[in-house]
Amino acid sequence: MSTKLLEVKNLVVKFGGVTALDNVNLHVNQGEIAALIGPNGAGKTTVFNIVTGYYTPAEGEILVDGKSMLGLRPYKIARAGLARTFQNIRLFGDMTAVENVATAADALNKSGLVGSLFGVPRSRRDEKASMEKAHELLKFIGLDHRALQMAKNLPYGDQRRLEIARALALNPKVLLLDEPAAGFNPQEKVELGELIRKIRDRGFAVLLIEHDMSLVMDISDRVSVLDFGQKIAEGTPVEIQNNQRVIDAYLGVAEDAS
Amino acid sequence: MAKLNLRDKFGDWWDGASPFSRTVFRILAVLAAYAIPFLKNPIIDTPETSFNSVLFYPLVMFSLMAVGLNVVVGKSGILDLGYVAFFAIGAYTHAILSAHTGLNFWEIIPFAMGFAMFAGVILGLPALRLRGDYLAIITLGFGEIVRIIAVNTEAIGGAAGLTDIPGPSSVFGIEFTVMDPRPYYWLTLTAMLFVIWGVLRLSHRKPGRAWEAIREDEDVAEFMGVSTLKYKLWAFIIGGAVGGLAGAIFASNIRSIQPELFTLNLSIMILACVVLGGMGNIWGVILGAVLLGYIPEKLRFLSDYRIIFFGLLMVVMMNIRPNGLLPRKKREVVGDKS
Amino acid sequence: MDFSILVSDFWALTIDGLVVGAIIALVSLGYTLVYGVLRLINFAHSEIFMIGTMTCYWVVQRFGFTGYEDPLPLWKFAGLFLLFGFAAAVVSGVAAVILEIVAYRRLRVLGASRLSSLISAIGASFFLVEVFQKISGAKNLDFPRLISKDTLFEFQNAYITQDKLLVIVGAAVIFYILNRVIHHTKLGLGIRAVSQDERASILMGVNVNRIISYTFLLGGVLAGFGSAFYMVFYETTKANVGFLIGISAFTAAVLGGIGNVKGALYGSFALGLFQQYTSAVLGYNWKDVVTFVILVFVLLVKPTGLFGEALQKARV
């Protein structure tokens, strides 16, 4: 069996009195593209907010490459190997594209502020490494020609891809993508699918939240389905497409109406 | 944007200039700054107060403090309304240590900066965990508390303050006397150049990126592996050190200090300098400090109304030009080849 | 430090604490209401209160009371109090609405950063203080004694006076009316809707700008009444009077959980009482330091306040 890079066990999350996630189990294996789908409000983004340390779960365990992430501040979790993008793009708008990526790449070195001030050799080396990595990633997503443009001035699609590059700069064990295809036209969705495959082939495992079913079914190795905070199914795309509970969950609205 | 033409022209020239011409330009600019006190120009002279003393206070003093506060407010986006507290700590450190120890001004400077940095840690460690508007109120309170403590503590002079503070001992044959403000100007200018050097270096490297990321979106910065608490704390410490340095120089110049010199108004004035000039851009901030320091001195009838003017300016600037007169990094390279 | 004073003067301190708490509460509600709809601390709210005190002063001056007369007969006082109380409420309310339009609205429409709004508010606050500094000649403006402060009756070492009764009873009436407004009027419904979810409110046809204006108006009116009670009780004002009462009121709002109306009430009375007890022990000079320490402590230990919602992490 392949190793589990991200493992979420028996996750329970409550906001006020409401249970947002109820005993959810998930994992992402090395070298795979896993997808997390479900109707709106099923708790998908909450899963991301939990595993990246923004909220604390009421119960459960979160393991990255076997190490527990519970109680760690988000920046530590990011350095430990979980990097994410956001449903509504959240770039550092007033920074250039390359600075956006370099900021994340910086997290991997231990150079401190005093070293940077006096330009000690290690800090120079780390600085160079961050910038090189940032440029290399921009090239990888095809944005190197816009490296010195402000992130906020980039076209929508470039902003989405820049978020991916920024997350990759953390050298994550698992890349968490939150609806990366939102707002894309069919052509762009195909390109995105190829990009995600390329990312997987580079050795990053991917966990994908996405509403576009054809994209999900096309690129995912394994799909998990959330509904009302519970995992109702897990399997290959083909299995999921034929799962009656999943079909019911997605058609739930129509059922109520009839 | 026609207004930015000069800036862009300069920027184009700068980008195209060889390292040699850049160095020459830098040297000339620094020399010009040092030579300002020798200007005898009726147009820039100020009535009532000699131009040279205006040059020391408020011009270069405001500039130094504004450059320090800019690291906190402009770079990192942390609204600090109690900056005057660090200035006060520096001033009191010099006044107290010079009276009770044998140390001279130059030996006290590291202590003044050190205590202010320490205060930055003490205030920052708890306060920086809070969100922006709460933090603003905490820092506001901190500034007032430092003043109230000074007023109520007889051991450091209470409301009457401290007197007979010595000036710096002479260096390179330059005497620091009560009569001549020029040496203080040069001293503050030198301090400011060091600070600018340091801040610029940091700005273009990892710490600068971390600060900007925090300013843009603190949560996301944290998700991208930036230890936000650490870098916010550093911003506070650096801002504090600069404030402490400015305070010690200030005390050595005016020779007697009272708590009433360190009111909230001063914090707000420095903040106005940062806001007017362009948050995050060191040159903009200095421009702001020079304008806000100079205009009320030149137009004396304005000086009574300066706080009214500063307050109004902050509202107007935020509404019509939130990035200030010289916004940070307006220039970007637009390449569209693919 | 003398703790026995807490026992011997307990009721006196408690009565004063309630009076101070009632005044703080009227200011504190403005912070909390605005925070509820805008998720923003209205920094200049303390100046709205200051404008109220100035209005009281000028109205009373205008009617020829300059400070050396005997207290008025009760009916005459009642008339005058209603006059300057409502004048202060109207002026403060209008000032608050103008403040919102000048300092906040454009920034909100542009979607400017929090920092911009804060700086704009602080600028407005300083502008107002300095303008009134100039108008008042930077002096303390002393209010005439309009109501007798002789003891009505004594209760366990506490001297109950007319002005203290007026503040407590008057504030109670205002709180009752406020409660009706929030829970039984369309305006109250709108305010609660916008506090819950601004976007959904827009979708439901709520005119958010109007609700925000009314919220500022309501906060200003409350601060105006607060300023009238303040003037009767303390009998003096100055241009920067708002600063310390603003810190107290803000602390009270945080203590009760900012954004929460009931919380602001409880927080204010708790703070008023605590201020009286601690100043009795530590000395009056340290009152504001104590307030500030409470503020820091609450923010660090329980930033949601005693009754608040989780605002530290409102949403991602």
Shortest CA distance to A44 belongs to which of A11, A17, A70? A11
At B183, list the tokens. Answer: 């040496």
CB contact at 8 A, A204 and A167? no
Alpha-carbon distance C309 to nearest alpha carbon in chain A (angstroms): 9
Record: contact A75-B223, CB cut-off 8 A: yes
Give pLDDT tens digits for B152-187. Answer: 888 888 888 898 898 888 888 788 888 888 999 999
Alpha-carbon distance B100 to nearest alpha carbon in chain C (angstroms): 28
At B112, list the tokens. Answer: 């003044």
A167 with A98, same domain: the answer is yes
- Ramachandran angles phi, psi of B333, nearest 5°: -95, 115
Residues of B with CB under 8 A from a CB of C: 73, 77, 79, 81, 126-127, 129-134, 136-138, 141, 144-145, 148-149, 152, 219, 264-265, 268, 271-272, 275, 304-305, 307-308, 310-315, 318-319, 322
> Measured on CA atoms in the order B269, B270, B273, B275, is the torsion positive or negative?
negative
- Ramachandran angles phi, psi of C152, nearest 5°: -80, -55
A203 with A255, same domain: the answer is yes
Chain C residue with the nearest C-alpha to that of A46: C316
Q: Give the span between the Cα atoms of A117 and C221, in whole angstroms.
A: 53
A201 with A255, same domain: the answer is yes
Record: contact B134-C303, CB cut-off 8 A: yes
Name the band, by pLDDT with cuts 50, 70 and 90, for residue B332: low
Chain C residue with the nearest C-alpha to that of B219: C316
Cβ-nearest to B315 among C120, C285, C300: C120
A69 with A134, same domain: the answer is no
Shortest CA distance to C302 belongs to which of B331, B26, B302, B134? B134
A103 with A51, same domain: the answer is no
Record: contact B335-A93, CB cut-off 8 A: no
Alpha-carbon distance B88 to nearest alpha carbon in chain A (angstroms): 26
How large is the greatest C-alpha to C-alpha distance in chain C, in angstroms?
Answer: 61
Give pLDDT tens digits for B67-79. Answer: 999 999 999 999 8
At C116, list the tokens. Answer: 């911009």
Give the residue from B75, B204, B224 with the most A CB atoms within 10 Å of its CB, the best one to mutate. B224
At B228, list the tokens. Answer: 């936000």
Q: Mean of the per-residue pLDDT values for chain C?
A: 86
A114 interfacial to chain B (CB closer than 8 Å): no
Give pLDDT tens digits for B41-91. Answer: 777 777 777 888 888 888 999 999 999 999 999 999 998 988 999 999 999
CB contact at 8 A, B293 and B44? no
CB contact at 8 A, B262 and B146? yes
Q: What angle in degrees, to the nearest 10, is found between the helix axes of A121-140 and A97-106?
A: 130
Alpha-carbon distance B228 to nearest alpha carbon in chain C (angstroms): 16
Record: contact B338-A142, CB cut-off 8 A: yes
Q: Give the span between the Cα atoms of C250 and B141, in whole angstroms.
A: 12
Cβ-nearest to B216 among A54, A95, A119: A95
A125 with A190, same domain: the answer is no
At A114, list the tokens. Answer: 């005093």
Record: contact C313-A54, CB cut-off 8 A: yes
Cβ-nearest to B318 among C107, C286, C288: C107
3-class secondary-structure state, position C158: strand
Give the residue from B83, B122, B137, B148 with the most C CB atoms within 10 Å of its CB, the best one to mutate. B137
A46 with A103, same domain: the answer is no
* Chain C residues with beta carbon closer than 8 angstroms to that of B136: 41, 43, 118, 122
Give pLDDT tens digits for A199-248. Answer: 999 999 999 999 999 999 999 999 999 998 999 999 999 999 998 888 88
Q: Give the span between the Cα atoms of B257 and B259, in whole angstroms.
A: 7
In chain C, where the domains are located: 4-301
Q: Give the span between the Cα atoms of C230 and C170, in whole angstroms.
A: 12
Chain C residue with the nearest C-alpha to that of B304: C134
Q: Over the range B170-196, which residues count as b (16 or more CB within 10 Å of their CB) and which as e? A: eeeeeebeeebbbbbbbbbbebbeebb
Per DSSP bridges, beta strands A67-68 and A230-235 are unpaired
Specify the amino acid at residue A244: Q
Record: contact B328-A167, CB cut-off 8 A: no
Chain A 147-186, CB below 8 Å of chain B: which residues? 147-150, 153, 166-167, 169-170
For residue A19, what are the β-bridge partners?
Answer: A14
Stretch B119-134: mean pLDDT = 85
* Chain C residues with beta carbon closer than 8 angstroms to that of A55: 313
What integer pLDDT is reported at residue A255 of this predicted model? Answer: 44
**Can you say how many angstroms the Cα of residue C162 is from the centroid of all Cα atoms in its chain?**
21
Any residues with CB less than 8 A from the CB of B232 and at least 6 apart, and which?
B76, B78, B124, B128, B214
CATH architecture of C4-301: Orthogonal Bundle (1.10)
Any idea which of B113-122, C16-25, C120-129 has the lowest mean pLDDT?
A: C120-129
Q: Give the span between the Cα atoms of B254 and B188, in whole angstroms.
A: 14
Containing structural domain, residue A103: 90-171
Name the band, by pLDDT with cuts 50, 70 and 90, for residue B34: very high
Question: Does the pLDDT at position B201 exceed 70?
Answer: yes
Chain C residue with the nearest C-alpha to that of A56: C313
Question: Does the pLDDT at position C56 exceed 80?
Answer: yes
Give the residue from C118, C136, C294, C312 with the most B CB atoms within 10 Å of its CB, the best one to mutate. C118
Domain count, chain A: 2
What integer pLDDT is reported at residue C67 of this predicted model? Answer: 64
For residue A14, what are the β-bridge partners?
Answer: A19
What integer pLDDT is reported at residue C1 of this predicted model? Answer: 64
* Chain A residues with beta carbon closer than 8 angstroms to that of C316: 45, 49, 54
CB atoms within 10 A of CB B52: 18
C-alpha distances in Å from residue A99, one per residue of A83, B70, B72, B308, C265: 17, 20, 20, 39, 48
* Chain A residues with beta carbon closer than 8 angstroms to that of B215: 94
Of A171, A190, A214, the residue that ends a domain is A171
- What is the interface size between A and B, counted as CB pairs within 8 Å? 113
Record: contact A123-B213, CB cut-off 8 A: no
Name the band, by pLDDT with cuts 50, 70 and 90, for residue C153: confident
* Chain B residues with beta carbon closer than 8 angstroms to that of C288: 144, 148
Alpha-carbon distance C97 to nearest alpha carbon in chain A (angstroms): 33
> Who has greater pLDDT, C92 or B149?
C92
* Chain C residues with beta carbon closer than 8 angstroms to that of A49: 316
Which CATH number belongs to the domain containing residue A127 in this structure? 3.40.50.300
Any residues with CB less than 8 A from the CB of C165 and at least 6 apart, and which?
C152
At C131, list the tokens. Answer: 């303008």
Q: Give the span between the Cα atoms of C93 and C89, in whole angstroms.
A: 6
For residue C153, what are the β-bridge partners?
Answer: C160
- Ramachandran angles phi, psi of A230, nearest 5°: -125, 145
Record: contact A45-C316, CB cut-off 8 A: yes
Any residues with CB less than 8 A from the CB of A247 and at least 6 apart, and which?
none
What integer pLDDT is reported at residue C146 of this predicted model? Answer: 84
> Who has greater pLDDT, B22 or C205?
B22
What integer pLDDT is reported at residue C69 of this predicted model? Answer: 67
Stretch C271-280: mean pLDDT = 92
Q: Give the span between the Cα atoms of A50 and C194, in whole angstroms.
A: 28
Stretch C10-34: mean pLDDT = 93
A29 with A139, same domain: the answer is no
Cβ-nearest to B312 among C112, C127, C303: C127
A177 with A156, same domain: the answer is no
What integer pLDDT is reported at residue A256 of this predicted model? Answer: 43
At B338, list the tokens. Answer: 């693919």
Cβ-nearest to A94 among B205, B216, B224: B216
Any residues with CB less than 8 A from the CB of C287 and at least 6 apart, and which?
C275, C278, C279
Any idea which of A8-12, B226-230, C139-143, C148-152 has the lowest mean pLDDT?
A: C148-152
Q: Over the range C228-248, which residues count as b (16 or more CB within 10 Å of their CB) and which as e? A: bbbbbbebebbbbbbbebbbb
State the number of CA atoms in the 13 A half-sphere of B245 facing the CB.
Answer: 27
What integer pLDDT is reported at residue A97 of this predicted model? Answer: 95
Name the band, by pLDDT with cuts 50, 70 and 90, for residue C316: very low
Residue with tokens 């080396």: A125
B195 interfacial to chain A (CB closer than 8 Å): no
A211 with A135, same domain: the answer is no
Record: contact B141-C130, CB cut-off 8 A: no
Q: Is-cis flag, bond preceding B58, omega within 30? A: yes
Q: Over the range B256-277, which residues count as b (16 or more CB within 10 Å of their CB) and which as e? A: ebebebbebebbbbbbbbbbbb
At B218, list the tokens. Answer: 């603190």
Of A171, A199, A214, the residue that ends a domain is A171
For residue A12, what are the β-bridge partners?
Answer: A59
What integer pLDDT is reported at residue C269 of this predicted model? Answer: 95
Q: Give the span between the Cα atoms of C143 and C157, in whole angstroms.
A: 28
A126 with A150, same domain: the answer is yes
Percent of chain B with pLDDT over 90: 43
Record: contact A45-C313, CB cut-off 8 A: no
Of A171, A195, A213, the residue that ends a domain is A171
What integer pLDDT is reported at residue B48 of this predicted model? Answer: 72
* Chain A residues with beta carbon closer than 8 angstroms to that of C313: 54-55
Which residues of chain A register pLDDT less than 50?
1, 253-258
Q: Which chains touch C (3 or more CB pairs under 8 A)?
A: A, B
* Chain B residues with beta carbon closer than 8 angstroms to that of A127: 205-206
